[in-house]
Structure 1
Amino acid sequence: MTASAEPAPPPVPPDADPGAALAALRGEIDQLDDQIHELVMRRAEVVAALATSRVKGGASPLRPGREAMILRRLLARHRGTLPGGAVVRLWREIFGASSAMQGGFTVALHAREPGQARLARDHFGGAIPIRSLPSAASALAAVAAGEAQVAVLPLPEEGEPLDRAWWTGLDAPRLQVVARLPFWSARGEAGPEALAVALGAPDASGADRSYLRIEAAAEQGRTGLLAGLAGAGLAPRSLLLRRDGGTVRALAEIEGVLAEGDPRLAALPFAHVLPLGFYAVPERGV
């Protein structure tokens, strides 16, 4: 049976008996539910085939860039009264269940507030195990050891203590930022945010932002860092600074994909620069 196997019921006449009209509409909903279910089951079959095929080659099921592309496409074609956020939540559950089907997928979570735990659950869905860990370092260690496939960590903040500034010691390029949570939220809505870190490079979505870790002499300061980045064509959206003795460590957020080997990195007048990964630019609904 396929989603198009059953013909659509005839329209309800405007003068129909209310009870008959209600029964007809409920019957149509039942048919639509069956069609949706058929398509969901077929999608699962395709995911299972992909997981065992040579095409994928044993790669991780975590594909945040690919997921972002799917969600953007669906949101662009979406119409009607069903909120876009509901569409995103439906597909986030589908994505999570698809990852769980492929086996051995666990999220290592370090949350500083309950909202970040809910954020991780909403993003990865109910089918994915989530381990709460006491520190960012322990969450990253779980990923590095293969005990989890992704770590969900608080966003870096200006002036936070060194033991919270996990980005200063991120083992890139082995570990990289691959996603920013949430991918979708209502416009103007203020809520918790987080970054996801995984082994290996993320996949590009077509609209991405990158993180760059910089070490420079203390005298360069924020002004010198901004000027050096702009001179290389890498003017940052944001710049966090930490001063440790005679060294400044900075985290720059850059538009676009920035990876090792990018010629713009060689033009930067700093002691050390290292890309830390990138994420799909989140969508903001109405």
Structure 2
Amino acid sequence: MVMKSPAINPDKQALADLRSQIDQIDGVIHDMLRERSEIVEHVRKYKGKQGIYIRPGREAQMLRALMSRPQGKIPDGLVVRVWRELISAFTIVEGSLKVGVYAPEKGPDLWDVARDHYGSFTPLVEYPTAAAAIKALKDGKISVAVVPPPAQGEKDSWWPLLTADKANALTVFQSMPFEPLKAGRSNARRALPTGLIVGKHYPELTGDDRSFLVMQCTHVPEAEMKRLLGKAGYKVRHMLTHSTGRAASAPTSFLAEVEGFVGRADTRLGRLKAMMGSRLQQLMPLGGYPAPLKGGRRTA
């Protein structure tokens, strides 16, 4: 009696072959992760003993390069999410990192946006106000602070706390999220749409940047301040004012967000000082951030 071999379903066989290919690719990805971790270890040794190993400019250039490649059928948000996890995990390996996050008891916060940005393993600490997060940063209790963008007339105004430090040690150096996503494509719930990251890091030039300038002066209306900034060579995106007193002679602080990178030795700062003369009491670059990814993606 001849035994017949059971019939092989061609669809099942094709599916098994495809799954086998996925397994092989997963193995290659794992091998590459191991190799990447070894290279990171060499980088850590070359850097020596530092406080925190954060390079927001480098991160932005990496992600821009990756997103400029053809994305094929990769789901929206996956590439940036995977690399944010990688960057954050290896940052912790290189050095300690604790993130203070604006998270009031009621109302929108930045907790979920910060968790998306800093990955699953970075320690986060919640603070009820942005000012409390900045104070904790000044006291050395956290490495960086995640705060909401400044708004006119806000009670919890944090940026004047940075200008009080004449050493200009704390600045804005990054924004989040780096890749704005459609609703439902991130973990964010009851979240503010964007946050700024403050720390003892000055941002790096990336080729597509935004910067903050603080000017404290007397007898300078807002329109005049915008005109002077434009004449100095700055393109103003937004401007806020903060009065330091009720008297007519009380100084006014201006916070201007401008296009492009402004370093501490930016030559336009000298131009602005010369034009304002004795009316200017303080001029300070307050850092900035690499501009987020723009919409659209390459599929092929």
* TM norm. shorter chain > 0.5: yes
Amino acid at match of 1:155: P
Partner of 1:241: 241
Does the CA-based 8 Å contact 1:186-1:284 persist in structure 2? no
> 2: CA distance between counterparts of 1:95 and 1:89?
10
Q: CA RMSD in A?
A: 2.1
Residues 177-233 of structure 1: CA deviation (Å, up to 9, x unaligned): 01011111137999521100011322222211110011122x422111111101101
Partner of 1:227: 227
Does the CA-based 8 Å contact 1:173-1:201 persist in structure 2? no
The alignment partner of 1:271 has SS state of strand
| Structure 2: 5+ residue stretches without partners | 1-8, 186-190
Identity %: 36
Superposition TM-score, scaled by structure 2 size: 0.83
> Are the structure 2 counterparts of residues 115 and 140 from structure 1 closer, same or farther at C-alpha, using a change threshold of 3 Å?
closer
> 2: CA distance between counterparts of 1:56 and 1:205?
24
Residues 50-90 of structure 1: CA deviation (Å, up to 9, x unaligned): 1122x455262111111000000000013201134110001
Amino acid at match of 1:173: N
CA drift of 1:258 comes to 1.1
Runs of 4+ in 1 over 3 A off after TM superposition: 112-115, 186-191
Does the CA-based 8 Å contact 2:148-2:192 persist in structure 1? no
* Structure 2 residue corresponding to 1:261, chosen from 246, 249, 265: 265
Superposition TM-score, scaled by structure 1 size: 0.86
Partner of 1:4: none
CA drift of 1:45 comes to 1.4
* Structure 2 residue corresponding to 1:20, chosen from 10, 13, 22: 13
> Does 1:278 pair with 2:288?
yes
CA drift of 1:108 comes to 1.0
The alignment partner of 2:288 has SS state of strand
Does the CA-based 8 Å contact 1:66-1:204 persist in structure 2? no
Residues 87-109 of structure 1: CA deviation (Å, up to 9, x unaligned): 00010000110111123211011
| Structure 1: 5+ residue stretches without partners | 1-15
**Structure with larger Rg:** 2
Partner of 2:100: 108
* Structure 1 residue corresponding to 2:118, chosen from 119, 124, 135: 124
> Are the structure 2 counterparts of residues 191 and 138 from structure 1 closer, same or farther at C-alpha, using a change threshold of 3 Å?
closer
Does the CA-based 8 Å contact 1:111-1:153 persist in structure 2? no
Partner of 2:216: 215
Does the CA-based 8 Å contact 2:131-2:157 persist in structure 1? no
Does the CA-based 8 Å contact 2:147-2:197 persist in structure 1? yes
Give the count of matched residue pairs.
Answer: 267
> Does 1:251 pair with 2:255?
yes
The alignment partner of 2:115 has SS state of helix
* Structure 2 residue corresponding to 1:178, chosen from 173, 177, 182: 173
> Are the structure 2 counterparts of residues 61 and 183 from structure 1 closer, same or farther at C-alpha, using a change threshold of 3 Å?
same
